């Protein structure tokens, strides 16, 4: 399989005609559990001496196709599916973190991830520090002996900021810790973080990978490249595991250690398994990922250029525009396109922002990204409304800011809708 090109892998990786029926589309194995062949086989499965299906919380044949496909598309060693993007993050961190340890993260993150890391993880006694990722050296300055990983997004909130993955990977590796990249906004079609030095990739497959806004799903990809035995920072992987008779993951599974531990400890004990139905919908979405992503990016560039000339628009923040501060990073990391989520400012401030979202017809006013449909939100009146104006501005959600996720409709229709809504919103 690995000789095939990206578009071929998007359709085929991990899938085979069903051995029982010959079905060509991956069947939905909607079952909780799988009958053992014998007591000996059952014992070998539970001892991790052989891999196989036991119970859908840990493994399922439909989900396994999705896991193999994302590993192939990202160029990684092992894939793991979870119930949501946030569940993928919890499981990845759970494998690396001990109480009292810290995650060093970019400040430019999805709002839900900022909450997860700073609020909920505090209950596990996992610390989180945030730095401005526009300057990679900021990460080096905040490293300490408690830091267990660096966490960034490839294309980040707000407004499609592009992160210098290679520079930040080098800083993580100099400290003997892995770089985890949330590749949700780019997908492996635009950026393959492992090729730039990332050790683990996580996804909210809810967004472009599924692409149709019909299911919540998460994915983890283990690159297989990190040396977990180089220090004593990762006891879950290097020390004897009491729940598997003292087995050591790093010694036993080598370059699959992290991926296997995420499954047989993280999924087993924390429990956020993906349903086979949602694995099927995500797989079906991924088959057209290359076609959709290119159209998303082409439309986004056309819309961003048009907005830039509109008299009711004060500024446009899109890395695909030649004068954008991220333009050079876009040319380096994702020359095929800068994604389709970006922000712009309306000249009329808060009131004009509210009027714009009230007047769109083709766009959907909602809190999601990466759908076939064009989506719009005014963060100051929705996702960030609890913050005061200074905090809103600091989070990139000032009163005039509009965030769009450009869909795969005809660009002329997307533009016409924004035009009539901007004009209707005029004061």
Ligand X SMILES: *Cc1c(COP(=O)(O)O)cnc(C)c1O
Residues 169-188 that bind ligand X (CB under 6 A): 182, 184-185
* DSSP-assigned letters across all residues of 76-130: -SEEEEESSHHHHHHHHHHHH--TT-EEEEESS--HHHHHHHHTGGGGGT-EEEE
Q: Is 218 in the site for ligand X (CB under 6 A)?
A: yes
Q: Does 86 participate in binding ligand X (rule CB under 6 A)?
A: yes
Asked if 67 is part of the footprint of ligand X (rule: CB under 6 A), the reply reads no
Query: Residue 236 in contact with residue 101, Cβ under 8 Å?
Result: no
Least distance between ligand X and beta carbon 406 (Å) = 15
Min separation Cβ 216 and ligand X, Å: 5
Residue among 110, 108, 194, 97 nearest 147 (CA): 97
Contact between 364 and 372 under an 8 Å Cβ cutoff? The reply is: no
Q: Does 215 bind ligand X (CB under 6 A)?
A: no
Give how many residues touch ligand X by CB under 6 A.
16
Nearer to ligand X, 113 or 343 (CB): 113
In whole angstroms, how close is the CB of 147 to ligand X at the nearest point?
21
Q: Which residue number is nearest to ligand X in terms of Cβ?
A: 85
The residue within the footprint of ligand X, chosen from 26, 84, 108, 405 (CB under 6 A), is: 84
Cβ closest to ligand X, residue 206 vs residue 236: 206
Indicate the residue among 122 and 367 with the shorter CB distance to ligand X.
367
What is the DSSP annotation of 363-421?
SEESS--S-SS-EEE-GGGTTTTTS-HHHHHHTT--TTEEEEE--SS-HHHHHHHHHHH
Q: How far is the CB of 277 from ligand X (least distance, A)?
A: 16
Residue with Cβ nearer ligand X (175 or 205): 205
Of the candidates 29, 60, 63, 110, which one interacts with ligand X according to CB under 6 A? 110
Closest approach, Cβ 368 to ligand X, in A, equals: 8
Of 108-116, 252-260, 275-283, 418-426, which segment contacts ligand X by CB under 6 A? 108-116
Q: Is residue 282 near ligand X by the rule CB under 6 A?
A: no
Contact between 77 and ligand X per CB under 6 A: no
Please list, in sequence order, all residues whose beta carbon lies within 8 angstroms of the beta carbon of residue 73, skipping any fewer than 6 positions away. Answer: 6, 9, 10, 13, 188, 189, 192, 286, 289
Q: Within 10 Å of residue 165's Cβ, how many Cβ atoms? A: 27
Span from 93-101, 128-136, 201-209, 385-393 in contact with ligand X (CB under 6 A): 201-209
- 185 versus 250: smaller Cβ distance to ligand X: 185
Nearest to 236 by CA among 120, 142, 99, 116: 99
In the complex, what is the shortest distance from the CB of residue 181 to ligand X, in angstroms, rounded to a whole number? 10
Best CA proximity match to 293, nearest among 306, 196, 301: 301
Looking at the Cβ atoms of 91 and 369, the one nearer to ligand X is 369
Q: Is the dihedral of CA 41, 44, 45, 50 positive or negative?
A: negative
Alpha-carbon gap, residue 123 to 125, rounded angstroms:
5
List, edge to edge, every strand of the sheet that includes 127-131.
78-82, 218-222, 200-204, 179-182, 147-153, 102-106, 127-131
Residue with tokens 């996702």, as numbered in its chain: 383
Shortest separation between residue 384's beta carbon and ligand X, angstroms: 15
Residue 207 touches ligand X, criterion: CB under 6 A: yes
Residue 233 sits at the vertex; the CA angle it makes with 149 and 196, to the nearest 5 degrees, is 35
- 153/199 with CB nearer ligand X: 153
345 binds ligand X (CB under 6 A): no
Minimum CB–partner distance for residue 202 and ligand X (Å): 8
Q: Which of residues 115-174 bind ligand X (CB under 6 A)?
A: 153
> Would you count residue 105 as binding ligand X (CB under 6 A)?
no
- β-strand partners of 236: none
Q: Which of 219, 321, 319 is nearest to 272 (CA)?
A: 219
SS3 167: helix
- Cβ neighbours of residue 318 closer than 8 Å, sequence gap 6 or more: 159, 160, 300, 301, 304, 324, 338, 342, 344
Min dist CB 241 to ligand X, Å, is 28
Give the residue with the Cβ less far from ligand X, 133 or 237. 133
Residue 222 makes contact with ligand X by CB under 6 A: no
Q: How far is the CB of 218 from ligand X (least distance, A)?
A: 5
- Smallest CA-to-CA distance from 334 within 138, 165, 85, 109 is with 165
Among 60, 62, 204, 405, binds ligand X (CB under 6 A): 204
Site residues, ligand X (CB under 6 A)? 84-86, 110, 112-113, 153, 182, 184-185, 204, 206-207, 216, 218, 369
């Amino acid at each position: 399989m690995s000789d095939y090109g990206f578009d071929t892998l998007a359709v085929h990786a991990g899938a085979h005609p069903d051995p029982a029926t010959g079905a060509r589309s991956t069947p939905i194995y909607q079952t909780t559990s799988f009958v053992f062949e014998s007591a000996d086989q059952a014992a070998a499965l539970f001892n991790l001496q052989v891999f196989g299906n036991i119970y859908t919380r840990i493994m399922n044949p439909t989900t396994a196709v999705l896991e193999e496909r994302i590993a192939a598309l990202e160029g990684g060693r092992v894939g793991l599916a979870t119930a949501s993007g946030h569940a993928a993050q919890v499981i990845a961190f759970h494998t690396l973190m001990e109480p009292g340890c810290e995650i060093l993260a970019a400040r430019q993150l999805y709002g839900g991830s900022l909450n997860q890391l700073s609020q909920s993880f505090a209950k596990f006694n996992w610390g989180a520090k945030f730095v401005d990722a526009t300057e990679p050296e900021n990460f080096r300055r905040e490293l300490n002996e408690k830091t267990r990983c660096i966490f960034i997004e490839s294309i980040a909130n707000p407004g499609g900021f592009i992160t210098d993955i290679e520079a930040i990977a080098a800083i993580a590796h100099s400290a003997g810790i892995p770089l985890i990249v949330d590749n949700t906004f780019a997908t492996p079609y635009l950026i393959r973080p492992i090729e730039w030095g990332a050790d683990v990739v996580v996804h909210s497959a809810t967004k472009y990978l599924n692409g149709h806004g019909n299911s919540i799903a998460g994915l983890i990809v283990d690159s297989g490249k990190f040396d977990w035995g180089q220090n004593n920072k990762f006891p879950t992987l290097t020390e004897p595991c009491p729940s598997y008779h003292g087995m050591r993951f790093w010694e036993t599974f080598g370059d699959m250690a992290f991926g296997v531990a995420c499954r047989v400890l993280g999924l087993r004990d924390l429990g956020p398994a993906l349903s086979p139905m949602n694995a099927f919908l995500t797989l079906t979405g991924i088959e057209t990922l290359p076609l959709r992503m290119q159209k998303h990016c082409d439309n986004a560039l056309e819309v961003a250029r048009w907005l830039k000339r509109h008299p009711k628009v004060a500024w446009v923040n899109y890395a695909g525009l030649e004068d954008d501060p991220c333009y050079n990073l876009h040319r380096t990391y994702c020359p095929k396109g800068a994604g389709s989520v970006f922000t712009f400012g309306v000249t009329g401030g808060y009131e004009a922002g509210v009027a714009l979202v009230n007047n769109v017809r083709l766009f959907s006013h909602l809190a999601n990204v990466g759908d076939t449909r064009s989506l719009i939100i005014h963060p100051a009146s929705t996702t960030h409304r609890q913050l005061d104006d200074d905090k809103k501005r600091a989070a990139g959600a000032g009163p005039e800011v509009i965030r769009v996720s450009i869909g795969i409709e005809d660009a002329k229709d997307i533009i016409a809708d924004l035009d009539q809504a901007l004009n209707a919103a005029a004061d």
